[in-house]
A and B are shown apart, each in its own frame.
Chain A
Amino acid sequence: MSAKGCLAANEWICGEYVRTRSQELTDATVQHVWITAVSVAIGLLVAFPLALLARRWRAAAGPVLGLTTVLYTVPSLAMFALLMPVFGVSAAVVVTGLVLYSLTILVRNILAGLESVPADAREAARGMGYGQGRLLFEVELPLALPALMAGVRIVTVSTISLTTVGAIVGFGGLGNLIYDGMDSFFKAQVLTASAICVALAIVADVLLLGVQKLLTPWNRARARDAGGRTGRRNGTRRVARAAKAG
């Protein structure tokens, strides 16, 4: 059975497919990665001031959270289709849509993170004469980092998944291959692209987990110390907070 056989026979797993389409697969993966990275980065930049706004003015919190939640209910299909007349056929359509979706989780997580900063830490800093800016960047943000990183992890993984729908405007990364494969019943293409997409998400999640651990060395120490008596309780609380934030 010649290798070409598995392409013409439309088999699910086909080495010949990967060999002949390696360039397309690479291009699609690269597009997928940069769309995700840009969307998450811009999402963070937009979510941060929004979260601060919601924190400072209680009145703003409602509308901000409400708006981001409503955005989340707009189906991705519609979101990209509606942005297309605005941006033309370009990656901006997909990136903008993904940024808007990321806001719900990021704003909520940043808020939750900032709120979870222990009051004594804040008061101690104020007592030492920290101004607002220093307080935010040197005390509150580092302590809020776990919740923030949990949000970034969730958003990154969701974004990798949602990017596939961008295929309807031709900027869906691996989704482009899935969409084309759907139209032409190309099983090997669909399965390979989907598998790479899942792998991307897992790798991103693990990488970000590593980054989170790197940025918060004190958490490791605290976990070790508390391991004995109330370890199980604290562990569950952390799980609970992470899950609630998600």
Chain B
Amino acid sequence: MDEITGAWDWLTTGANWAGTSGVWHRLGEHLYLTLVCLAISCAIALPVALYLGHIGKGGALAVNISNAGRAVPTFAVLVVLMLTPLGKHGDVPTIIALVLFAVPPLLTNAYVGMREADQDVVEAARGMGMSGWQLLGRVELPLAFPLIMTGLRTAAVQVVATTTLAALPGGGGLGRIITAGFNTYNTGQVVAGAVLVAGLALLVEGVLVVAERLLSPLPAAVRAARRRAERERRAEDRVAPATAVKFAAGGTAAIVALAAVVIGYGGRSLEDSSARGGGGKGSVVVGAAGFTEFKIMAELYAQILDDAGFSASIQPLKARELYEPALEKGQIDVAPEYAATLAEFLNAKENGPDAPAKNPVASDDTDKTVAALKKLAEPRGLKVLSAGDAIDQNAFAVTKEFAEKHDLTTLSDLGASKLKIKLAAGDECSQRPFCSPGLKKTYGINVTEVDPKGVGTVQSKQAVKDGTDDMLLTTTTDATLEDFGLVLLEDDKGLQNADNVLPVVNARDAGGAKLEAVLDKLTRVLTTQDLADMNRAVDADREKPADVAKDYLEKKGLLSK
């Protein structure tokens, strides 16, 4: 249960509550988004629903809007809006997506509440000579009030929960705590984030329950009478205990059986793909992480292995924290890696999270770095194959104008300028020694915030181009910097180490000589420029990684078929 203790630790660490990434700030963002969304949704939904309810038309429409609203996937709407020019105005896409999400339940509940009003009472009121407005205000609204409030409570709770999705494209709110924990494989943080959101949702529900009681136009006696009537109506439904137990038992058995199947299937989907035995022909799973270059490398490995007679498949995984353990366990067999980065990752795993900063094993010397890597990898059952010339180092880029304005060519210049920098990178940047900790320590650069738009993604580049962020983390093989008017700042103090691309394999399942020979063929040929060109084909020309890899292998004569 160390997810729970992890969450407790995270929540009780004061530092996690302060600052722009701290709980208070995120809570504020979350509440802001929720309240603005609810206000706009009520302004749209309630007048329409009350009017339709009053005149008694449009019932089918009201219910169907509710269903149609559910059909709109909020995540999709959010991403679509983010990619439009609206995406520049941070919160606008989120608010629009949430309003689309909240209007249907509000509208339907309010409409139904109005229609539920006892028609006899309404007719009596009309008979008494009430005008339309008086009818609405003094009869229909008070009677509809409970259902309207139910709709509001439902919408409010769902909006609080759904606002977390804003974090996925890098927006604000408590969801950012969850995504940060997820990307750094810190489950305690994920639990903490979930607890905070759930707590907020329940708090909002509680506040609205109290508000309903305080604002209800119906006197307490009437409400109590209604509740009693409801209870009496339900009193007659009983099922005999024996039958209930039988069904419960049968149902539980069915659930357990199905769960076993699903878990078994799910688990096996990774196990099956691990190789059946050593270096000979068998099935090989190549791991691939999220960004373009990794996908291309994985395709290159998989295709060249497949061509040599191994049955290769690709397993996409999100981050090193996920695929490195999978590699050790044999769930994946081969992964493209970067010598220095993996070496420090294993260093941290072995000697604690401070080791890369205090006792780094990587340097800008390729041979020494690879040797250090082998020393760390072999005891873990990983075999490191030869490194080639292709290097993909982390690099930092700013806009041309920014560089000219502040007279910057190197990262040292940036540190000397004492400028405050908003950095677009991945969530894990604050933990990677080559990223914000390294910038601070080696260059004295003041990174005020890490905007998790991804490493070298088009989003990050767009954000720096637009001025939302000042600098982005990308790679030396990034081919589209010019298109965005960006320039690299030179790493003059050698913060970035020898990140030569090399294959790392699971020694037991894929440690054979034949597999090594096949991959070596590729490693010897691949250059940094090749990587840059292939990246460009995918990111700029929108070709598929598989096609780009195939073209390259054919061009270099590495495929026998």
Contact = CB atoms under 8 A, between A and B. Distances in A.
Interface residues of B, number: 101
A90 B239 contact: no
Given A45-B251, A77-B175, A239-B115, A70 B198 contact: yes
Contacts of A52: 239, 244, 247-248
B322 to A, nearest CB: 7
A152 interface: no
Interface of A: 4, 7-8, 10, 17, 20-21, 38, 42, 45-46, 48-50, 52-53, 55-56, 70, 72-79, 81-82, 85, 87-93, 95-96, 114-115, 119, 132-133, 136, 153-154, 157-158, 160-162, 164-165, 167-170, 174-175, 178-187, 190-191, 193-194, 197-198, 201-202, 205, 232-233, 235-236, 239-240, 242-244, 246
A190 B83 CA distance: 9
Minimum-distance CB pairs A-B, first 5: A90-B266, A49-B251, A78-B194, A201-B71, A92-B266
B357 interface: no
Contacts of A72: 157-158, 161
Contacts of A240: 112, 115-116
B71 A157 contact: yes
Contacts of A184: 292, 457-458, 538-539
Given A91-B262, A132-B240, A243-B63, A53 B248 contact: yes
Interface in B171-224: 175, 178-179, 181-182, 187, 190-191, 193-194, 197-198, 201-202
A132 B239 contact: yes
B71 A198 contact: yes
Contact of B164 (A77, A181, A205): A77
Contact of A178 (B75, B182, B191): B75
B258 A42 contact: yes
B269 A7 contact: no
A233 B322 CA distance: 58
Nearest to A185: B458
A51 to B, nearest CB: 10
Contacts of A10: 542
16 contacts: A8-B541, A52-B247, A72-B157, A75-B175, A81-B194, A154-B70, A157-B71, A168-B318, A185-B459, A187-B83, A198-B71, A201-B73, A205-B67, A236-B115, A239-B59, A239-B63
B116 A73 contact: no
Interface in B147-166: 147, 157-158, 160-162, 164-165
A201 to B, nearest CB: 3
Nearest to B453: A183
B19 interface: no
A170 B258 contact: no
Given A92-B263, A183-B290, A183-B291, A178 B248 contact: no
Contacts of B201: 73
Contacts of B79: 178-179, 181-182, 190, 194
B350 interface: no
Nearest to A16: B542
B56 to A, nearest CB: 8
Contacts of B161: 72-76
A167 B540 CA distance: 23
A141 B233 CA distance: 19
Contacts of B77: 194
Contact of B258 (A8, A45, A232): A45
Given A48-B247, A158-B70, A243-B112, A178 B76 contact: yes
Given A95-B262, A158-B70, A202-B71, A8 B168 contact: no
A140 B475 CA distance: 65
Contacts of B322: 89
Nearest to B71: A201
A115 to B, nearest CB: 6
Contacts of A165: 75, 165, 168
A77 B290 CA distance: 18
B239 A136 contact: yes
Contacts of A157: 67, 70-71
Contacts of B331: 88
B454 interface: yes
A36 B108 CA distance: 25
A70 B202 contact: yes
Contacts of A87: 263, 266-267
Nearest to A156: B70
A50, A133, A178, A202 — most chain B CB neighbours (10 Å): A178
